[in-house]
Amino acid sequence: MKLTLHIGMPRTGTTAIQDYLYSLGQTVSPIVSQRGHPELIMLGGTPRALNEFSRRFGPVTPERILALKEALRSAETDHVVLSSKMLYEFSDAEFIGNLCVELDDIFDEIRVIVYFRHQIDHFPLLVTQRVKAGMKDWAQIIKVPDAIYRYDEICALWDQDVDVIARDYGRCKDDVIGDFCAAVGLPVPEVTVARRPHPTLDARALKLLLLINSSSAPSKDSVRRRIADELEGLTLSKQTFKIGRDLADEIAERFEAGNQRLSEQYLGGLALLRQTEKR
């Protein structure tokens, strides 16, 4: 039995991919969940991963882990496809090693597919996401997050144990489902699935929301989130948040070598496409 494991980098069509897998149901996965497959985090077994899973989804117990393994073994297809947004976050050597040991006991062949987005294009989305989630320290938010943008290192970590398929989201963002299906061997939808927009907030809305985050109590989280949604619906100016030239240059320089390694080793020599570039 073969396993294809989709590792969902934030803002690269992960939710759309998971929605499509959910629509296919048990024809591709013995674990059917509209939220993807966060249960896989339990098999990684590191303290940080288990703590985060417990915080979000309840206690990790031996019975729960056993039930997950039995469910995977019960697959009625020779090709299981799973997707998790959390796997990208926990891409370190210990976690990947633990997970692959567990999966090797169930599957004959394992491969990973992951979509990457050029850091400069991704960064405004990340900032908006973090501010909307409640972060209030602009100095921390604006730091380029190495844990997310070390693309070549993440591929190399997974590549030690399984085959890796790396894809450039910028080259297929208008039909990421079709690209995913073609890459992993699933039936392509007859109709192109509409891409979900992820707007960045207006710069002034971001600053206003940061003030709200700083002054609002955690118990008022639902109110803060409602305000964030309302701000997103407003047009405070014609310009959504964009990073300045200096920061863009810093990001480009900081990740240039890693992006080059990603291109040469995993993208067939193609560079990550910028939104401002033509395909």
**pLDDT tens digits, one per residue of 32-81:** 888 899 999 999 999 999 999 999 999 999 999 999 999 999 998 999 99
CA distance 21 to 34: 8
DSSP letter (8 states) at residue 190: S
Average of pLDDT values for 167-196? 88
Using the predicted structure, report yes or no on whether residue 279 has a pLDDT greater than 60.
no
Mean pLDDT of all residues in the chain? 89
Rg of the chain, C-alpha, whole Å: 20
- pLDDT in the model for residue 218: 67
CA distance 105 to 53: 22
CA distance 67 to 28: 18
Per-residue pLDDT of 74-102, as tens digits, reads: 998 999 999 999 999 999 999 999 999 99
Per-residue pLDDT of 102-155, as tens digits, reads: 999 999 999 999 999 999 999 988 888 888 888 888 777 777 788 899 999 999
Confidence of residue 239 (pLDDT cuts 50, 70, 90): low
DSSP letter (8 states) at residue 274: P
Length reported for the chain: 279
Task: Give the Å distances, CA to CA, from 42 to 10, 85, 163.
Answer: 20, 14, 22
CA 30 from chain centre, in angstroms, equals 22
Confidence of residue 278 (pLDDT cuts 50, 70, 90): low
How would you class 66 by CB atoms within 10 Å of its CB: exposed for 0-12, middle for 13-18, buried for 19 or more? Answer: exposed
Q: Are 160 and 99 in contact (CB under 8 A)?
A: no
- pLDDT in the model for residue 219: 66
- pLDDT in the model for residue 120: 93
Query: Does domain 2-119+149-197+254-266 correspond to CATH entry 3.30.720?
Result: no
Q: Are 222 and 258 in contact (CB under 8 A)?
A: no
Domain-wise residue ranges, the chain: 2-119+149-197+254-266, 203-233
Three-state SS string across 113-146, please? EEEECCHHHHHHHHHHHHHHCCCCCHHHHCCCCH
- pLDDT in the model for residue 277: 64
Question: Strands, DSSP E only, in 8-124?
Answer: 79-84, 109-116
DSSP letter (8 states) at residue 269: T
Using the predicted structure, report yes or no on whether residue 237 has a pLDDT greater than 80.
no
- pLDDT in the model for residue 236: 58
Q: Are 145 and 255 in contact (CB under 8 A)?
A: no
